[in-house]
Amino acid sequence: MNSGIISLLSDTAFEDPWSSFLMDVLSPLSFIKISHIRMQGLLLIVFAKYQHLPFIQILSTKSTPTGLYGYWGNKGGVNIFLRLYGYYISIINCHLPPHMANNDQRLEHFDRILEMQNFQGHNVPNILDHDLILWFGDMNFRIEDFGLHFVRECIKNKCYSDLWEKDQLNIAKRHDPLLREFREGPLLFSPTYKFDKNSSNYDTSEKKRKPAWTDRILWRLKRQSRANFFSSSLPVPYFTLSLKDYRSHMMYSISDHKPVTGTFDFQLKPLMSVSLITLMAEGPWTMENDMLISYSSSPDFVSSPWDWIGLYKVGMRHINDYVSYVWVGDNQVSFDDNLNQVYINIYDIPETEDQFLLCYYSNNLHSVVGISKPFKIPLRFFLAGDLPSEAQAQM
């Protein structure tokens, strides 16, 4: 990320280049950008397949600067806190202080970022009670004691186990019970820092910094109290996460770091399996330049005058990438206890054979709470709007 002030202002007014690029790649695969947060050079973006949207609620986005005097955002963390099928999940991207001698400061910043994740809201648990914390970024932990030559020889011969023992994060875990609860996959790849830019050569500058695994992916599952295992009156949540792949990608050379990716299998038993809104787009199609949309809501859903329904092409990039939208309060034509109807004017709909989706956005929950199945708008629907009326035909 370009963390300069001009870049920050530009990305505030327009889409940042990473979001734009990733949406180009992921939207054809049915992924939609559901949230993002940026703090100077730190960017966190969350995508999800569109069928999960009614079961994802973005509860909070938060920046925690820990740089100069604790206020500058060149170091710190950004967090997206969400609820997924009823489970609480925090996703944190961080940049901790650099240099070998600053390990205590790194650990202090790690703790400070964790402590600052306080969320307002009814029945919102403390972050340590979230079902999952996924934490990654440039953590800047180094390899202690060993000299540069020994470290490079170990890397050359792929003898990583000796280096693990002196990795500062692994050492810290032995002494910090909370940090020990954060799991990590085996480091079976070469240290990802520091490289000469535009190459795969470790640092050849005068400083010749020692290679290190600075770029890490950690996760922590909620502790289960013993009472949960012996109580038969309460449903036992089913929520598991298993790491399938953890690797670096040495072919990329635009940075002095190499990127790291983790691939997980994520299984859960939904705590909520029915969306708050059910949308129906099967018709009826009218002959009066309007498309009727029917929807029903669950008994515990609280609507707002600022709720809206968006019409999207399948393959939309983000929640504001609608073709047309309607305020549910303004264009309502009928309602009863179970069914509501609103309309969209035909002239707001593009004449195309593409597939469409309808999404209901809740202003109170700041999330999509209902989504229709994909559908096509019959071509005759558009043609009907172009036909002359009987009075015009007689003139």
Share of the chain above pLDDT 90, in %: 66
CATH class of domain segment(s) 15-224+236-269: alpha beta
Tell me what pLDDT residue 390 has. Answer: 45
pLDDT tens, position by position, 299-334: 889 999 999 999 999 999 999 999 999 999 887 877
Mean pLDDT confidence for 201-213: 94
pLDDT band at 232 (very low <50, low <70, confident <90, very high): very low
Tell me what pLDDT residue 248 has. Answer: 97
Tell me what pLDDT residue 389 has. Answer: 46
Mean pLDDT confidence for 221-230: 58
Mean pLDDT confidence for 355-371: 94
The chain-wide mean pLDDT, for the chain, equals 86
Instruction: List 79's β-bridge partners, or say none.
Output: 62, 92
pLDDT tens, position by position, 102-118: 999 999 999 999 999 88
Mean pLDDT confidence for 220-243: 65
pLDDT higher than threshold 80 for residue 264: yes
Question: Which amino acid type is present at position 162?
Answer: D
Tell me what pLDDT residue 381 has. Answer: 59
Mean pLDDT confidence for 343-354: 79
Tell me what pLDDT residue 392 has. Answer: 42
d(CA 150, CA 153): 5
Tell me what pLDDT residue 380 has. Answer: 56
Tell me what pLDDT residue 3 has. Answer: 56
Q: In terms of C-beta distances under 8 Å and separation of at least 24 residues, what long-range contacts does 45-49 make, across chains too? A: 45/18, 45/19, 46/80, 46/82, 46/91, 47/22
Share of the chain above pLDDT 70, in %: 84
Mean pLDDT confidence for 77-96: 96
Tell me what pLDDT residue 9 has. Answer: 54
pLDDT band at 231 (very low <50, low <70, confident <90, very high): very low
* CA quadruple 297, 300, 306, 312: dihedral, nearest 10: -40
Tell me what pLDDT residue 124 has. Answer: 82
pLDDT tens, position by position, 2-47: 655 555 555 555 678 899 999 999 999 999 999 999 998 899 999 9
CATH class of domain segment(s) 277-376: mainly beta
d(CA 144, CA 151): 10
Domain segments of the chain as ranges: 15-224+236-269, 277-376
Do residues 73 and 63 lie in contact, with contact meaning Cβ atoms separated by under 8 Å?
yes
pLDDT band at 393 (very low <50, low <70, confident <90, very high): very low
Tell me what pLDDT residue 139 has. Answer: 98
pLDDT band at 217 (very low <50, low <70, confident <90, very high): very high
Mean pLDDT confidence for 54-79: 86
Both structure tokens of 18:
């990473």
Mean pLDDT confidence for 150-155: 97
d(CA 137, CA 220): 15
Tell me what pLDDT residue 210 has. Answer: 96
